[in-house]
Amino acid sequence: MHAMESRVLLRTFCVILGLGAVWGLGVDPSLQIDVLTELELGESTAGVRQVPGLHNGTKAFLFQDSPRSIKAPAATAERLLQKLRNKHEFTLLVTLKQTHLNSGVILSIHHLDHRYLELESSGHRNEIRLHYRSGTHRPHTEIFPYILADAKWHKLSLAISASHLILHVDCNKIYERVVEMPSTDLPLGTTFWLGQRNNAHGYFKGIMQDVQLLVMPQGFIAQCPDLNRTCPTCNDFHGLVQKIMELQDILSKTSAKLSRAEQRMNRLDQCYCERTCTMKGTTYREFESWTDGCKNCTCLNGTVQCETLVCPAPDCPPKSAPAYVDGKCCKECKSTCQFQGRSYFEGERNTVYSSSGMCVLYECKDQTMKLVENMGCPALDCPESHQIALSHSCCKVCKGYDFCSEKHTCMENSVCRNLNDRAVCSCRDGFRALREDNAYCEDIDECAEGRHYCRENTMCVNTPGSFMCICKTGYIRIDDYSCTAILGFSYSHTGMIQGLCKRPALMFPQNGCFQSFVSVPSLRASRMSHCNESSVSFLPDCGTFPVLPFHPSLCSPSK
């Protein structure tokens, strides 16, 4: 008798623990969709009527064999689906009694012809079907052979956790599968149906109660608390032993793989690993050379080294001359035209004004200046006194016109600047031109050319477009170009600092101040520096030593 009572108490304790996991703590309303409550089914709903259910705790409804449209309104559907959208762990719960041999849809969430989540029970084929769309937007159907349409009460739960499906019927795990992960990227306008696929198809016949969607892991525990056992059984221990044996086998195989990997890595250590260079997003191999603007670059030992490109003088045939070409650093031969005592390159235009003031435009084509048809000019919104005539177009422009917004040839480290009637290139500050049109520019090494302002006790370091001065060891910065020696840069065992006013630290004497400091011969001050106490901290009183602006706790010699 006592043994039986002990088993009953133990089972009761385990059930209480299981209930506490879900019901004891309650289900967060934001994670729960009570479908029957949300759809507000009642006596006025066509095709359904309230009937006694499996229990009296909640309402149950009979879905009749008559026309009906049990569909959530658009606003309600969007509010419900927002809880489910882009979630990968949820459970569908339902308590039902389906009419014998009926084939019908329990719940359907679809957009147009795309079924994102639809659970169907077929009494003709004795199977449960799950229709869904995967993350690759392909339709899938999972079929679970089971007799559900038998006019008997059943508790059904389908738990989805990423690509893991678990189907429980009457608190028994019937199926567990790994499938392609369902997609819950539900578009706007997705519809929410209960007991049918649409107005004409998939009518479920029978009673449904406690239809819920729980957006949480292991939601089936809400329907079957006993499944949340916290008390292990002998079978659990046996399974644990089996798992340990499997883990030992995995460990043995992993150790063997690791040993083989170590052997391969040891062989790799003996291999030559080629170093590469990356420039402007392009990777180059060792000793590979390429042209970058007006520079020849080579990858050497993982470092890009560039030299200024030396352009050879082109030997041009008659009726041609050297000229710059877009995208090229050096001049190339281009055909020319002779017109009014001047040479023009291929594609170059020139305007000629007649005695009457009419503009005629010519363009160099095939070594001949040819007349360009006048296509008309856009209207200008500036007074005539602000209109500027151009040498390459019969159309005038207003003062301040942005020529740089049109095509220009200014490359890296060169900027386009607007003149009164054209655009020109100009090198950025700290760069010099590599050719006369300033389209290509290179950095000026101010340090190597002595064009810097670094004073004594500093080292000049070149930077793109500028330079910087770095203090030598044992010196501290005064300004961007000057450094001074650090005086008495040593501590005694009492924390004394020679020649410096210093904020006290915990290692200093109790009053936090030194009454005097050892004088330094190079200082011109006649009295010792000392510290004054303030209400906030011990601030330095440097006497005749001015406080350094970059470190208010240090003193420098008076000047």
pLDDT in tens, 457-488: 999 999 999 999 999 998 999 999 999 988 64
Q: CB-based contacts of 176: which residues, under 8 Å, 6+ apart?
A: 164, 165, 166, 167
With vertex at residue 302, the alpha carbon angle to CA 296 and CA 307, rounded to the nearest 5 degrees, is: 20
Picking from 222, 213, 219, the residue whose alpha carbon sits closest to that of residue 82 is 213
Average pLDDT over residues 189-207: 96
> Rg of the chain over CA atoms, in angstroms?
43
**DSSP β-ladder status, 139-145 and 127-133:** antiparallel
Q: What does the alpha-carbon distance between residue 123 and residue 146 come to, in Å, rounded to a whole number? A: 9
Contact call for residues 297 and 262 (beta carbons, < 8 A): no
Band (pLDDT 50/70/90 cuts) for residue 78 is: very high
pLDDT of residue 89: 92
Handedness of CA 183, 189, 193, 199 (dihedral sign): negative
Picking from 400, 395, 398, 435, the residue whose alpha carbon sits closest to that of residue 414 is 435
Q: Distance of CA 5 to CAs 9, 10, 11, 12, Å?
A: 6, 8, 10, 10
Q: Distance of CA 317 to CAs 9, 86, 357, Å?
A: 109, 70, 38
Span 141-191, pLDDT tens digits: 999 999 999 999 999 999 999 899 999 999 999 999 999 999 999 999 999
Residues recorded for the chain: 559
Picking from 227, 204, 238, the residue whose alpha carbon sits closest to that of residue 35 is 204
Structural domains of the chain, with CATH = 20-227 (2.60.120.200), 277-308 (2.10.70), 336-425+434-441 (no CATH), 445-486 (2.10.25.10), 499-559 (no CATH)
Q: Which range scores top for mean pLDDT: 119-123, 259-263, 274-278, 535-539? A: 119-123
Q: What does the alpha-carbon distance between residue 508 and residue 498 come to, in Å, rounded to a whole number? A: 14
User: Is the pTM of the predicted complex or chain greater than 0.75?
Assistant: no
Q: What are phi and psi of 288, to 5 degrees?
A: -75, 140
Residue 482's CB is within 10 A of a number of other CB atoms, namely: 16
Mean pLDDT of all residues belonging to the chain: 82
- Alpha carbon distance, N-terminus to C-terminus of the chain: 103
